[in-house]
Structure 1
Amino acid sequence: MNKELINKTAEEIQIGYEKYIQNFKKLTKVSPLHFRSRDWSGMQETHLKRLRLYKDQVNATKNMVLALVKDCYSDYNFWKTTKEHYSKNITERKDRELAETFFNSIIRKSYPGLAINEELMFVHEGYNTCDIYSNEDLYHTYPSSLGLQKIIQKIIDDFDFETQYLNKEADIQFLVHSVREVILSRYTISEDTITQVLKSVFYRNKAAYLIGRTFVGGKWMPFIIPFLNGRKGVFVDTLIFDPKIMAHLFSFTRSYFMVEVDIPSQMIAFLHAVIPHKQIHELYNAIGFNKHGKTEFYRDFLMHLQQSEDKFVIAEGVKGMVMTVFTLPSYNIVFKMIKDYFDPPKTMTRQEVREKYKMVGLHDRVGRMADTHEFEEFHLPLDRIHPELIRELKNTVNSYLEFRNNELIIKHVYTERRMIPLNIYLEICTLEEAKQAVEEYGHAILQLAKANIFPGDMMTKNFGVTRQKRVVFYDYDEIEFLTDMNFRWKPKPETFEQIYASEPWYDIKANDIFPEDFKRFMIGRQDVREHFFEYHQNLFNPDYWISIQERILSGEWIHALPYPNEIRFRPEEEV
């Protein structure tokens, strides 16, 4: 075997990874500049570039590797030895787990028909094998001996955004008051009380977030401080102690943070301590390493398969016209496959559906669209698949199936967090819960609109309810940019023929939308229909939709706060 070629191949893959991570850091590093100068379009463009970076670098590295290895591209022993050399080369890297995932991506693109293979790929390594280095450079530390006022003052001083503040002294007093109200009213400060705040600032959309924790009462209490940069300067918007709100900030429905990270596993360990019920793969996603998040998800999935015995079944809810959806009841994930043939009136192609999912992946999800992972050659043990599901898969997605030995190999599938379909939730919840759910449903639609997304099919079966009772959209086959839609009032009939016409008597183009018609299909539950119509009157007003379009087209980036307005320190008009 050509040792020189093996060494060169391992070296080229490592060079490709280093280019990726250097460019990732370079793009991330400009986020503070965008925040400081209120360059929100620049922030969006940078985020989009970073999202595309991994795929572009993998393709470039793959092409270089294939040109180098030539006839060895399908040689099993060649790749096995290359992996061993690559593993030695990256042993001392502090981001070793990300470098392993990059190698996996290259070999999956280079080796024909490769499924998950433990000899050729890094399958069970990753996060838990990484060394946890000294924390000195990870966070600032504030001992209780400083006193609350000085601690808050020092935190504010340590995170100078190098631009005008709205009112720094007022911010300090807002924070002091909140800490006294939430922590000092319940806990006694002692000598071992200490506060730690990550040195890296988490940027997303128009906000910057500090993430920290205080050891008090024998336990760590996490907190998040959001900053905004308004027309009058930077200001602290609130102080978050509520774990549900913190979890929502790192939700699978949110876009990724722009945050400088030297040692990813160290950052993840801290975040996991602060938000313990978030999965490791979700946290990697949150800080922008979504490809490694996908790797960590798959490792978690394999472990769960080993520790469970239930069978994969058809997911609950109304069967979709475009997607076949199944799940493992003991695992909080659904698997979605594009059907071979779509039921009428759907007319799009498979490729068009895939483009919609890519569109979501590159767009601001504003907390209202679920993140997905896309897999090819996904293996499932046949004895874990319910016979009814096997029949459904053969009937709807047969071209994507391969039965080999004791496995079902799925050629293409999306994974997504499982939620209760909104139509089912409305059938089983109380009246008060239903009112809250339909209010959330309307908020989801309008917040998506403000992010330039028109959901298309807005029926309740296409929305889900999360554990925090948040309503999220998850059916992407008909989404469009809001600015491409034409919102219209329905013309008033004037003649006898127009009044009694069995079909619309006026011209309707493909992108014409009549919000007045939404009432006919949006809510089926009778005891909350009128509440919904009254609460969300704007949904049915074409002029309101047009006003959102005009704001977007004028260049405005409409920011959706990931926390309730009620907890903000200042009213909107003051900032």
Structure 2
Amino acid sequence: MNDPKLCAKVAYQILNGFDKSYRWYSRITRGAQDRFENGQWQATQNAVKERITIYEQSLSDIVSEIYQQVHVHHQDLEFWIALKEHFTLLLDSHPQYELAETFYNSVIGKIFRHRKIDDRLMFVLPSRCFIAGPDRDKVVNSFDTTGTVRAMHESILKTYRFNIGFEDKERDLEFMDVALRRKLNREQLASVHAVELLKPVFYRGKAAYLIGRICMPDETVPFVIALQTNEQHELFVDALLTEQKDLSVIFGFARSYFMADTQHPAEIVAFLQELLPNKKHFELYMSLGFYKHGKTVFYRNFLQHLQNSDDQFCIAPGIRGLVMAVFHLPSYGVVFKIIKDEFAESKKITREHVKDCYRLVKTSDRIGRMADTHEYVNFRLPRERVEDSLLDELLATCASSIELTDNEVIIKHLYIERKMTPLNLYLQQETDPVKIRNAIDELGLCIKQIALANIFPGDMLHKNFGITKHGRVVFYDYDEICFMHERNFRALPKSDDPYVLDTLSVAPNDVFPEQFEHFIIGKKVFKDILKELHGDLMTPEYWRSVQAITATGAIQNFTPYPACRRFMQR
């Protein structure tokens, strides 16, 4: 017979563990303003890593407490059902109830090793439907639009207070005024009935963003003020962004999570969803750093999609990987990646090494050039939706990760990533020379920017890069990445002897950039474009110069919007 007092006590412990974790999370997030104002960029990166790790630490702590209170594996099904009921009651009026549900799921998942995906025991489905609006005034500032554009901008800059002064506020106000008048004509400006900005400042990298919208009777325009600081720790407005495309890229899946302090994340996400209707809820939660809850929302969205579709999981288009088996559901916008049981002879790495590389990317500044990945265990697919050819391949290459039941294919460990068009397929299919040139230019920029972020991409075959709908090239194959200092960039010896390379002494960490032109991109016409635009990639001098930069610990500033949007080229 279940003990109601014990259920109530454990439910309270779990919620208390979540609240403690969220306070820790919020404390790190609130520190973003001070780090931004003082130019503490290394501390900013350290804070990103710390905030990602606190969830697992908090989870381990609370599970240990539960084990001290309860013989968990001696409890019957009714105990766990009652525990969820007690926990649900505690969530009434909780401002982060949806995040607390995910934390509860994580506790149950850890106890049962993710073997019991059952809505009676955990929140596979949410406990209630969130309705946006009741707390909107707690997360949004509204500004008077009856006066001049200048007066509105002044009011905004007074409302969002920083502990440092402006480099030249009058200049910046003028820039903002001109930029907005270029976007909206006189009639549109006269029709504006509301300007709304989210109360939290969104910090990431070396920038801070005020994010909101301009509301008119027939349309709504994004309104984003991008702020940066100079070397004297003075503030300046770098750009005023009013294009949805720019806002979408700022919230892109290849960028680090924002630091935006709020006690009402659901309202923040609901507002952002109105600004970015093409972004899914799980993507927006992840962009705010709630990546665990983002995974929960993704799974719910995935289950819903399965119910409303009938296509089958199949092998993803593109060249087969040597380390990962990759498949997709054609109607859904992600790919699924499983580490193979054995790697090709050319891959001198282990399974744990691959996992470490993916963890490294998770906690690094992805600078808009490395896709975010999400790790799942015991992920379940309906067996009748899996093509026979895919199942055969998974059993042949990833058998240790696959468990079959009569109705399900259970994948013990996999990664999920946003779907992109592989760059090699894009270049095969595209006929517009301008788009081809842009894609190859993007490829070179992607490699260079990743290197400046202190990551050597390793395997730079263009099949390991994807291209987004915005034409941006993103890297997504991480099994050979490492820090820049871990490679020795060498020049090939100059000799008329055709066998000189055979006698060359090569250490495991030696890299010969002059050979890059032979494998980054194959087709001669594409290779010539890459050499024209980014020929320095094929020289050891270039890579050594980047090593010298990264060795100083200097943090680069990767602006997520085009240079033409910036008010001044500093």
Query: Which category describes the TM-score, using the shorter chain as reference length?
Result: over 0.9
Tell me the SS of whatever aligns to 1:412: strand
Q: How far is the alpha carbon of 1:115 from its aligned partner?
A: 3.2
Is the contact made by 1:339 and 1:396 (CA closer than 8 Å) also made in structure 2?
Answer: yes
Structure 2 segments unaligned to the other structure (5+ residues)? none
| C-alpha separation in 1, matches of 2:37 and 2:428 | 48
Residues 472 and 171 (structure 1), Cα distance of their counterparts in 2 relative to 1, 3 Å cut: same
> CA–CA distance in 1 between the matches of 2:482 and 2:347?
15
State the match for 2:153 in structure 1: 152
**1:36 corresponding residue in structure 2:** 37
Structure 1 position 373, deviation (Å) = 1.2
Equivalent residue number for residue 130 of structure 2: 129
The one-letter code matched in structure 2 to 1:277 is N
State the match for 1:458 in structure 2: 460
Q: 2:338, 2:414 within 8 Å by CA — same for their partners in 1?
A: yes
**Counterpart position of 1:555:** 553
Q: Is the 8 A contact 2:370 2:476 kept in 1?
A: yes
Q: CA deviation at 1:126?
A: 6.5
Give, in whole Å, the separation in 1 of the partners of 2:343 and 2:100: 40
Superposition deviation, residue 474 in structure 1: 0.6
> 1:256 maps to what in 2?
257
What's the offset of the Cα at 1:542? 1.7
- For residues 245 and 214 of structure 1, the distance between their equivalents in structure 2, rounded to whole angstroms, comes to 15
Aligned residues between the structures: 567
Distance apart, 1:466 and its partner CA? 1.0
Q: Which amino acid aligns with 1:123?
A: V
Aligned AA (1:570): M
Aligned residue in 2 for 1:469? 471
Q: TM-score under structure 1 normalisation?
A: 0.96
Shift of 1:322: 0.5
Do the aligned partners of residues 486 and 413 (structure 1) sit closer, same or farther apart at CA in structure 2, a change above 3 Å counting?
same
What is the alpha-carbon distance in structure 1 between the residues aligned to residue 22 and residue 335 of structure 2? 31
Contact in 1 for aligned 2:221/2:244 (Cα 8 Å) = no
Q: Using the alignment, how far apart are the partners of 1:128 and 1:536 within structure 2?
A: 51
Structure 1 residues 130 and 351: alpha-carbon distance in aligned structure 2, compared to 1, 3 A threshold: farther
Offset from partner CA, 1:459-492 (integer Å, 9 cap, x none): 0111111111111111111011112111122232
Tell me by how many angstroms 1:183 deviates: 1.2
Q: 2:174 corresponds to which residue? A: 173
CA distance in 2 between counterparts of 1:96 and 1:132 reads: 16
* Residue among 502, 506, 512 paired with 1:508: 506
2:129 and 2:517 map into 1 onto residues whose CA distance is: 51
* 1:404–1:40 CA distance, 2 compared to 1 (3 A): same
Q: Is the 8 A contact 1:29 1:260 kept in 2?
A: yes
Identical counterparts, % of pairs: 38
Q: Shift of residue 529 of structure 1?
A: 2.2
- Given that 2:221 and 2:243 are in contact with CA atoms closer than 8 Å, whether structure 1 keeps it comes out as no
**CA–CA distance in structure 1, aligned partners of residues 485 and 274 of structure 2:** 42
Point out where structure 1 has 5 or more consecutive residues left out of the alignment: none
Q: Give the residue type in structure 2 aligned to 1:473.
A: F
- Alpha-carbon distance in 2 for matches of 1:262, 1:252: 23
Residues 1:134 and 1:15: Cα distance change in structure 2 (over 3 Å): closer
- Which contiguous aligned blocks of 4+ residues in structure 1 show a shift greater than 6 angstroms? none
Give the match for residue 397 of structure 2.
396
Cα deviation for residue 194 of structure 1 reads 1.3
What does residue 117 of structure 2 align with?
116
Q: Structure 2: how far apart are the matches of 1:520 and 1:121? A: 52
Please give the per-residue CA displacement for 1:83-132, whole angstroms capped at 9, x wherever unaligned: 11011011220110000000000000012552321111101116843564
Q: For residues 94 and 130 of structure 1, what CA distance do their matches in structure 2 show?
A: 13
Partner residue, 1:61? 62
Residue 416 of structure 1 corresponds to which residue in structure 2?
417
2: CA distance between counterparts of 1:347 and 1:28? 39
**Pairing 1:486–2:488 present:** yes
Note if contact 2:489-2:540 (Cα within 8 Å) is conserved in structure 1: yes
Cα RMSD for the two superposed structures: 1.5
CA distance in 2, matches of 1:130, 1:46: 32
- Counterpart Cα distance in 1 of 2:498 and 2:374: 50
**Equivalent residue number for residue 223 of structure 2:** 223
Match 1:432 to one of 431, 434, 441: 434
Q: State the 1:367 CA deviation.
A: 0.5
CA–CA distance in structure 2, aligned partners of residues 511 and 166 of structure 1: 45
Residue 86 of structure 1: SS of its match in structure 2?
helix
Structure 1 113/160 Cα, relative in aligned 2: closer, same or farther at 3 Å?
closer
Distance (Å, rounded) in 2 between the aligned partners of 1:63 and 1:139: 39
Q: Which residue of 1 aligns with 2:245?
A: 244
In structure 1, C-alpha distance between the alignment counterparts of 2:500 and 2:307, rounded to whole Å: 59
Residue type of the partner of 1:86?
F
Higher mean displacement: 44-53 or 535-544: 535-544
Query: Does the 8 Å contact 1:238/1:569 carry over to 2?
Result: yes
1:188 touches 1:217 (CA, 8 Å); kept in 2? no
Q: Is the 8 A contact 1:115 1:377 kept in 2?
A: no
Q: Check whether the contact 1:375–1:414 (CA below 8 A) recurs between aligned residues.
A: yes
Q: C-alpha separation between the residues in 2 aligned to 1:267 and 1:113? A: 30
Q: Per the alignment, in what secondary structure is the counterpart of residue 416 of structure 2?
A: strand
Contact persistence 1:66–1:110 (CA under 8 A): no
TM-score normalised to structure 2 length = 0.97
Q: Partner letter of residue 298 of structure 2?
A: F
Please say if residues 336 and 413 of structure 1, whose CA atoms lie closer than 8 Å, have aligned partners that are also in contact: yes
Per the TM alignment, residue 136 of structure 1 is displaced from its structure 2 partner at its CA by 2.2
Distance 1:383 1:326 in 2: 15
Alignment match, 1:163: 164
- For residue 275 of structure 1, what is the aligned residue in structure 2? 276
2:202 paired with 1:212: no
Q: Is contact 1:72–1:78 with CA below 8 Å preserved after alignment?
A: no
Distance 2:114 2:549 in 1: 48
Q: CA deviation at 1:305?
A: 0.1
3-state SS of paired residue (1:377): strand
**Residue number in structure 1 paired with 2:539:** 541
Query: What displacement does 1:211 show?
Result: 0.3
> Aligned equivalents of 1:113 and 1:570: distance in 2?
52
8 A Cα contact 2:45 2:364, kept in partner:
no
Contact 2:37 2:164 in 1 (8 A): yes
> Whole-Å Cα distance in 2 between the matches of residues 128 and 485 of structure 1?
51
The letter for the 1-side match of 2:290 is F
Distance in 2 separating the partners of 1:65 and 1:449: 45
d(CA) in 2 for partners of 1:570, 1:52: 37
2:193 maps to a residue whose letter is T
Report the equivalent of 1:568. 566
| 1-structure distance, mates of 2:403, 2:515 | 44
Q: Is the 8 A contact 2:132 2:270 kept in 1?
A: no
